[in-house]
């Protein structure tokens, strides 16, 4: 198991075709890396692990596992494990298999074409996940995500978020910067602290709580729902060609004097548009 001394955060580049990647970030003064067969008793896995290369030079760790062609299934597989200092930057490209990060990383890039991605805190993230699920607690900077057909949950995004989705479910917890989402599936934002621009062809779009700025939502065949908290004045422009528009906001004396406003431009072609008080639950939750 190679060990390398380091004075601070490093850059790590990991490239493999099939396998599982685990990256552990913690306060430490060394880097540890290993590549082992996923199934030690399988000759193909053992052979692939023996062909992996690990190098460390000038603060950059490189792990490369040869990509073997296989006509039937993913093929030979390895497990990659890296322990590195807190704040290190990681670039992972994994075709078939999972990527798991623990601890706090710096700005990173993670691609897992057919596999799950899970993580704790990442300073900023370029994310590519066409056919897997994603579960990340926090992106502490900018998020740039290209997503496909899996379920995606990111608990918090501190910076700007730009998301391009397909038919999967996208769930963003608290968003601290401007958000731009284009997708065909459902989108939920628990709390938006800045502007939101969102478009979906077939999935419901819900922003459970807005705090100000500009909220622009367009939907094709599913509902739009936005929650406005007490004390926030809302400027509303909402319409639906073949659905109902429901404004459930009641008069709020505090909003008239707070000086806080939000601009809502909401559109749906074939479903309802609803604006409600934040914290009172969605219409579906209230009916259950």
- Asked if 98 and 112 count as a contact pair (C-beta separation under 8 A), the reply is yes
CA distance 139 to 116: 17
Q: For the segment 260-282, what is each residue's pLDDT rounded down to a tens digit?
A: 999 999 999 999 999 999 986 55
Radius of gyration of the chain from its Cα atoms, rounded to whole angstroms: 22
User: Which pLDDT band holds residue 69 (cuts at 50, 70, 90)?
Assistant: confident
Task: Judge whether 60 and 8 are in contact, CB under 8 Å.
Answer: no
Assigned token pair, 54: 């690990």
Q: Write the CB contacts of 169 (distance below 8 Å, at least 6 apart in sequence).
A: 151, 152, 185, 186, 203
Residue 258 confidence (pLDDT): 86
First-to-last alpha carbon distance for the chain, in angstroms, is 55
Q: Are 152 and 134 in contact (CB under 8 A)?
A: yes
Per-residue pLDDT at 280? 64
Residue 162 CA to residue 50 CA, distance in Å, equals 39
The confidence score (pLDDT) of residue 227 equals 98
The mean per-residue pLDDT over the stretch 222-232 comes to 97
For the chain, the average pLDDT equals: 95
CA distance 67 to 85: 28
* pTM for the structure as a whole: 0.93
Q: Is 124 within 8 Å of 107 (Cβ atoms)?
A: yes
**At a CB cut-off of 8 Å and minimum separation 6, what does 136 contact?**
117, 118, 119, 120, 122, 125, 153, 154, 155
What pLDDT digit, counting tens, does each position of 194-208 carry? 999 999 999 999 999
How confident is residue 14, by pLDDT bands cut at 50, 70 and 90?
Answer: very high
Beta carbons of 140 and 160 less than 8 angstroms apart: no
Query: Residue 212 in contact with residue 231, Cβ under 8 Å?
Result: no
Phi, psi of 109 (to 5 degrees): -135, 125
> Minimal CA–CA distance to 76: which of 40, 114, 115?
40
Q: Which two structure tokens, joined as six digits, stand for 227?
A: 């929650």
Domain range annotation of the chain: 142-288
Return the minimum-mean-pLDDT range out of 3-12, 175-184, 230-239, 249-258.
Answer: 249-258
Beta-bridge mates of residue 110: 92, 127
Neighbours of 80 (CB within 10 A): 25
Contact 96, 72 (CB under 8 A): no
Q: Is 170 in a helix, a strand, or coil? A: strand
Instruction: Give exposure, 43-54, as e/b (b: 16+ Cβ within 10 Å).
Output: ebbbebbeebeb
Closest CA to 23 of 96, 94, 128: 94
């Amino acid at each position: 198991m190679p060990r390398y001394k380091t004075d601070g955060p490093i850059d790590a580049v990991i490239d493999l075709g099939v396998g599982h990647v685990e990256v552990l970030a913690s306060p430490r003064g060394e880097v540890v890396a290993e590549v082992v067969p996923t199934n030690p008793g399988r000759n193909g896995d053992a052979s692939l692990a023996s062909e992996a290369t690990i190098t460390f030079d000038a603060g950059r760790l490189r792990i490369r596992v040869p990509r073997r062609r296989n006509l039937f299934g993913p093929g030979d597989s390895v497990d990659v494990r890296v322990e590195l200092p807190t704040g290190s930057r990681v670039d992972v490209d994994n075709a078939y298999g999972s990527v798991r990060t623990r601890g706090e990383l710096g700005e990173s890039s993670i691609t897992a074409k057919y596999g799950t991605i899970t993580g704790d805190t990442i300073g900023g993230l370029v994310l590519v996940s066409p056919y897997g699920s994603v579960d990340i607690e926090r992106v502490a900077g900018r998020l740039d995500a290209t997503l496909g057909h899996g379920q995606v949950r990111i608990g918090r995004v501190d910076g700007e978020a730009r998301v391009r989705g397909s038919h999967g479910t996208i769930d963003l917890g608290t968003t601290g910067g401007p958000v731009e989402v284009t997708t065909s599936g459902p989108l939920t934002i628990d709390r938006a602290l800045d502007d939101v621009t969102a478009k979906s062809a077939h999935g419901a779009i819900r922003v459970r709580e807005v705090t100000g700025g500009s909220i622009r939502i367009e939907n094709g065949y599913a509902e739009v729902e936005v929650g406005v908290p007490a004390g926030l004045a809302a400027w509303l422009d909402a319409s639906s060609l073949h659905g109902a528009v429901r404004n459930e906001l009641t008069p709020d004396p505090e909003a008239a004097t707070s000086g806080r406003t939000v601009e809502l431009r909401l559109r749906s072609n074939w479903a309802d548009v609803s604006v409600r008080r934040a914290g009172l639950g969605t219409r579906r939750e209230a009916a259950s």
